[in-house]
């Protein structure tokens, strides 16, 4: 149910769940789900949440991990406020430096499998994670689909991930242009501002 991609799919899954547990002893559990959880379905079911930009973050694990990191840095719970603030500042500086270094590496360390014509304008300019996601979509969906068999156009990939969907990829592959543009990706995926982007990678000028 949670992974349902459309409202119709969610409704069908909910009906199927109720049908799978028709016995009276499950009535309380079914009523609990309906009254306590399904009234908030727009907060956790993909059919609703995937129309909001969240870059695939559907859990609180990152916030919990950040909290655990802070606790490790503080070591004890009896520090004064100055010690706490200084520890937080050091942690943020370390994280910023590590993130900046990772961004610089992403600009120059280009995996061979990303050096394809489809990524001619974006490799080294868009985060590798985004390009790997695009490569997976191309390999899994376009390798087995013809134009009439593509999944229905919903724009959810753009809505929740800030990435071009399979239909956009298919359009580029069939057009004379043949490659994605930096502007097809949300700013979150850009390795640097568009105004300062370097020229095209010469390895792709073939």
Residue 145 has pLDDT above 70, yes or no: no
In whole angstroms, what is the distance from residue 17 CA to residue 138 CA? 34
Burial class, 185, CB count within 10 angstroms (exposed 0-12 / middle 13-18 / buried 19+)? buried
Domain spans, the chain: 7-49, 61-108, 112-204
pLDDT at 203: 54
Tens digit of each residue's pLDDT (9 = 90 or more) over 52-89 = 899 888 888 888 888 888 888 888 878 888 988 998 99
Q: Hey, which residues does 123 pair with through a beta bridge?
A: 126
Q: Give the predicted TM-score (pTM) of the model.
A: 0.71
């Amino acid at each position: 149910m949670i992974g349902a991609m459309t409202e119709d799919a969610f409704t069908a899954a909910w009906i199927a769940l109720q049908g799978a547990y028709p016995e009276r002893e499950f009535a309380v559990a079914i009523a609990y789900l309906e009254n306590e959880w399904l009234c908030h379905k727009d907060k956790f079911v993909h059919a609703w949440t995937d129309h909001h930009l969240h870059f695939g973050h559907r859990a609180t694990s990152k916030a919990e991990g950040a909290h655990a990191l802070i606790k490790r840095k503080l070591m004890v719970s009896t520090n004064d406020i100055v010690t706490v603030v200084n520890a937080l500042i050091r942690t943020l500086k370390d994280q910023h430096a590590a993130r900046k270094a990772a961004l610089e590496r992403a600009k120059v360390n280009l995996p061979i499998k990303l050096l394809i014509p489809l990524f001619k304008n974006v490799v080294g300019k868009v985060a590798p994670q985004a390009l790997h996601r695009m490569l997976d979509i191309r390999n899994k969906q376009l390798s087995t689909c013809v134009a009439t068999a593509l999944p229905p156009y919903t724009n959810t990939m753009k809505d929740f991930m800030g990435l071009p969907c399979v239909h956009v990829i298919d359009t580029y592959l069939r057009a004379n242009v043949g490659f994605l543009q930096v502007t097809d990706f949300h700013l979150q995926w850009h390795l640097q501002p568009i105004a300062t982007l370097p020229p095209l990678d010469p390895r792709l000028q073939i």
